[in-house]
Structure 1
Amino acid sequence: MSDILLQTENLAIDIKSQNKNLTFAYDINFSVKKGEIYGIVGESGCGKSLLAHSIAGLLPENVKISSGSIMFDGVNLLALNKKEFRKMQGKDISMVFQEPLTSLNPLMKIGRQVSENIKIHTDLTKNEIQIETLNILKKVGLNNPEELVNCYPYQLSGGMRQRIMIASAIICKPKLVIADEPTTALDVTIQSQILNLLQDINKTYGCAIVFISHDLGVISRICDRVAVMYCGNIVEEGDTRSVFCNPQHQYTKGLIDSIPTKDKKGQSLVTIPGKVPGIVEKKEGCYFAKRCTKAKEMCFKTKPKYTLITQNHKVSCFLAGETGE
């Protein structure tokens, strides 16, 4: 029996703009094992959230998957019709969004929102649903759930709202939870609590988590494996320790070097030169070449294929092996 829960093969995502289809991401290949926490990291606009919404079936109308496959527990999600996909949304695949205040319905009480998935996907009685709702609110660390179910989102703090979002996502005990920058809008203390909660959920329910963030510190703390995205492509992937201790792509190294640490006190912050190219600016070759301080002529002409650094670490870079020099 395969331990792979989620796998994308040659996935390409197009964005329709002014009656033209522009390919934003292509050749996306990665897999998530059952029960693991898989991180996706990169700058804003690199395609992290777009990839997450592709898996969850939540793409806007002007964005389409043009080719490839998304296999989930042996089922090709792209072959399902809307009705078939809806049966899996919230039950097998759930999502925790970045900003709970805008994700929660401001006109609906918390209890009703948390219990929505279990009402749709189970045959439990009203009393059983109420019990499950109270239990899941306790599970995510919320006190006095009997009072909370009658509250509205605006009455709660940001940390409490994010716990509500997590409770709603896990109430049906899904196989996969996609967490799209769930701690970005929180202070560091609440952020740490939410990370601990997600790790506890991962261990308790055995669900896999795809954790999306631009914060490498968070990724290094919580994730078993990590994919580094740039311009809609995965440029490096591997065990978190291997990628962070031995980065092979110049972009990955730039991200790590730009992390402010106490041993860099008094020094100028390291930055990656240039800016991320727009979708219409993409050319042949490595998309990072113009920003790379070590780029060679071939980097501008040919897109590098993946090179295996170890069995669990791959990189799309002609300079692999030279990064640490």
Structure 2
Amino acid sequence: MKKRRLAGRAVNPVGLGCMNLSHAYGHPPSPEDGVKLLHKAVELGVDHFDSAALYGFGSNEELVGPALKTVRDDILLVSKCGMQGIDGKRVIDGRPEALRKTLDDSLKRLQTDRIDLWYLHRYDKLNNVPIEDSVGEMARLVDTGKVGAIGLSEVSAQTLRKAHKVHPIAAVQSEYSLWSRNAEIAVIDACAELGASFVAFSPVARGFLTDVDLDPENFAEKDIRRGMPRFNTPHFEQNQKLLPAFREIAKEADCSPAQLAIAWTLHKAPHIHAIPGTTSIGHLEENISADAITLSPEIISKAEVLINQNTVSGPRYPASTQAEIDTEEFDQTA
């Protein structure tokens, strides 16, 4: 892989989103299988691992940290604060005192003395915590040596610029794929302008842009996609109509649909990284190799014309979740 800069380091552009190993998509793998996948990722050259205090309400950090301890100095270890599990409930809290406690707890779970890139998982606008207050505290924690660099997740370009005035922001992480293009409105360009990286999570559209035929009726009870409009009637049936043509484009590009989706993301700008997640070693190998794929302008154009904000049916989040998100959004209520 040709490396790209992130948080002051050169890392491979396809990292690993670790959420799936503990959280969000129903039944996670056993800890033993999770460790095997993490070790395989290292073997394949992954050097960017993304966790969060929220994932598995701490159990993801407890898995990731010890599993990667032997290669700790060779990887970019990433986590997030500002959203976590408290008494069995997901809580957003960007107050300085909450962030301090989250950091100490995360360091213990990760079994490390520093987090290389620490994101504010959510800008706490629901509790009216100014972004300057949250980032100001994160900056003070950088000064302690416990944090290497600061990032933000799911924020607008305006919020990014406010935060950047307080302390340099190394990266913004947001959902970005062919079917979630809202980052193109402003924040990808704002990152380039400010010298920040952009990290795309869910680059394969939460499993949709693959060769796996999803059936939402079979999603596990706690699978977060059950609450996402694009996976519900009538939107899912409309979106399914896009897949045959997308898979044909992948064949034309001589790659899998997932590889096409990830490679497309990386082709959009040199400061973009992708962090697909998976519980499958086969899919891990497939995802990591996407960086080696060169897409022609014709392939890129075909994919973008087929799948974009005007052809995808349904918003990416339900209204209750969208209220917590600070990103710019297309007017997409269909």
**TM-score, scaled to structure 1:** 0.37
- Could you say which structure has the higher strand fraction? 1
- Could you say which structure has the higher helix fraction? 2
**TM-score, scaled to structure 2:** 0.36
Higher gyration radius (CA)? 1
